[in-house]
Amino acid sequence: MEEDAEVNLVLNDHYVENVKVKLIVNPSLDEAIISDQLIDALGITVISFGKGLWRYKKDPEDMIRESA
């Protein structure tokens, strides 16, 4: 199944405008997978994929967020 959708990033102090995406549902997966293009469009800088650590592009260098 493939559908058009919009994604945005909402943080306590920032809001990223909607990004148009193609949503593809794979029933055999139990977590979301996003592309490198979407990561970039949302302003996410990955610190560690495996640990789920990241920062928003406007965050201070010493600020590290954890995935939900």
pLDDT at 12: 83
Give the count of domains, the chain: 1
pLDDT at 13 over 80: no
∠ at Cα 5 (15, 3), nearest 5°?
165
Residue 30: CB partners within 8 Å, gap ≥ 6?
A: none
Domain limits at 15? 2-66
Q: How far apart are CA 68 and CA 65, in angstroms?
A: 9
pLDDT at 35 over 90: yes
pLDDT band with cut points at 50, 70 and 90 for residue 15: confident
Whole-model pTM over 0.95:
no
